[in-house]
Amino acid sequence: MSGLFPVAPRVAEVVQAVVIALSPEWCSRERAPRCHAGGGPVWIAVALGAVSLVLDLVTPSGGERLAWAPIGFLMLVSGVVVATGKATRKRTVAPT
Summarised one tens digit per residue, pLDDT across range 12-22 is 778 878 877 77
Mean pLDDT of 12-40: 66
Which pLDDT value is given to residue 1?
A: 47
Q: Summarize the chain as % helix, strand, coil (round to 5).
A: 70, 0, 30
Total number of domains in the chain: 1
**Distances from the Cα of 53 to the Cα of 2, 30, 43, 89, 90, angstroms:** 26, 30, 15, 28, 32
- Whether 40 maps to a domain, the answer reads yes
- Whether 94 maps to a domain, the answer reads no
- Whether 19 maps to a domain, the answer reads yes
- 25 versus 59: the higher-pLDDT residue is 59
Which pLDDT value is given to residue 73?
A: 92
- Whether 1 maps to a domain, the answer reads no
Position 53 pLDDT exceeds 80? yes
Q: Which domain holds residue 31?
A: 11-84
- Whether 50 maps to a domain, the answer reads yes
Distance CA 48, CA 14 (A): 12
Distance CA 87, CA 69 (A): 23
